[in-house]
Amino acid sequence: MEALELQQTYQDLTTAHVADAALRLGVPLRCAPATVRPLWDGVHLVGRARPARHYGSVDVFLEALERAAPGEVLVVDNAGRADESCVGDLMALEARQAGLGGIVIWGLHRDTAELRAIGLPVFSQGALPAGPQRLDPQEPEALTSARVGEHLVTADDVVLADDDGVLFVPLARAADLAAAAAAIRDTERRQAARMRLGTGLRAQVAFADYLAARDLHGATFRQHLRAIGGAIEE
C-alpha cells in the first residue's frame, strides 16, 4: 500500500480494532510499550515506518529523512533511555517539511510546547530538558531497523498509533488486517447501538447459551463468539 491508500484504508480504524484483527488472523501482535504516549489527545497516525537508531547526534535522523517518502513515520530507537531526550522542535519541523506523518520515539523528547505548536504527531515515553551528552559508534543497522520495546521495526512495517498507543503491523498484511478490523468495528458499532436501545450485551451474545455449551462441551467464549458472529475479545 502507498501512503495515500494507507491513510484512506485505516482512517476509521483504531489500534484496538487492528489488534483484535491481528488476533483473529494469527498475525503476531506488536505493540510499543504502554509508556509510549501521544503528546496530545485525539491523534490518529498511520504510515509506513522509517526506522532510525539514535547514537547521540541528530545526523542519523537527517539521513533517515533523506531516504524517507511523504507519509512515512519516523520510528526512533533510543533504547528507552530515561537520561536524555533525543527529539526536539527542530527535528519535528524538519520531519514535517519532509512530509512525514509523525514521529514515534522509544525514548524521550523535549521542547514540548514547541512540538505541540508544530502539530506533527509525536509519541514518546515522556519529556526531559537534557539532550544527549554522548556520541556512540553507529551500527550498520542504524537506518534499516529500530527496536521499540521488545519488537524490531523495519521499513516493511506500518505504524498505527492513537490514544491507546502504538501498533506495528507488516505492510504485506495491511490490507487483510484492515478488512478484518473493519468487520470487527462494524460489529461492535451494531452491538453498541443495540445496547443504547435496551438490548444488553449478554442477550446479544446469547451468554446463557454459551454457559450451557461450556458446561457441556468445554467451549470457550471466543469459539462461541465466532459461531454467532459477535465481537468483544477479537
pLDDT at 129 over 60: yes
CB 53 within 8 A of CB 77: yes
Q: Which pLDDT belongs to residue 223?
A: 84
Three cell numbers, residue 210: 454459551
Does residue 134 have a known ligand-binding role? no
Taking the C-alpha atoms of residue 43 and residue 163, their distance in angstroms, rounded to an integer, is 6
Q: Which pLDDT belongs to residue 224?
A: 86
Percent of the chain with pLDDT over 70: 97
Does residue 186 have a known ligand-binding role? no
Taking the C-alpha atoms of residue 15 and residue 161, their distance in angstroms, rounded to an integer, is 6
Q: What is the dihedral of CA 227, 230, 231, 234, to 10 degrees?
A: 0
CB 48 within 8 A of CB 158: yes
Confidence of residue 200 (pLDDT cuts 50, 70, 90): very high
pLDDT at 234 over 60: no
Does residue 88 have a known ligand-binding role? yes
Q: What is the assigned CATH class of domain 3-171?
A: alpha beta
Q: Chain-centre distance of CA 220, in angstroms?
A: 29
Question: What tens digit of pLDDT does each residue of 22-52 get?
Answer: 999 999 999 999 999 999 999 999 999 999 9
Q: Which pLDDT belongs to residue 216?
A: 86
Does residue 20 have a known ligand-binding role? no
pLDDT at 231 over 70: no
Q: Which pLDDT belongs to residue 213?
A: 85
pLDDT at 232 over 70: no
The rounded mean pLDDT for the chain is 94
Question: What tens digit of pLDDT does each residue of 131-145 get?
Answer: 999 999 999 999 999
Q: Which pLDDT belongs to residue 230?
A: 60
Q: Tell the residue number behind the cell numbers 447501538, with chain if given.
A: 193
How would you label 105-124 residue by residue, b for 16+ Cβ within 10 Å and e otherwise? bbbbbbbbeebeebebbbbb
Q: Mapping DSSP to helix (H, G, I), strand (E, B) and coil, where does residue 37 land?
A: strand
Which residues 6+ apart lie within 8 Å of 59 measured at CB?
Answer: none
Does residue 1 have a known ligand-binding role? no
Among 191, 190, 193, 184, CA closest to 207: 191
pLDDT at 217 over 90: no
Q: Which pLDDT belongs to residue 65?
A: 98
Residue-range domain boundaries for the chain = 3-171, 177-228
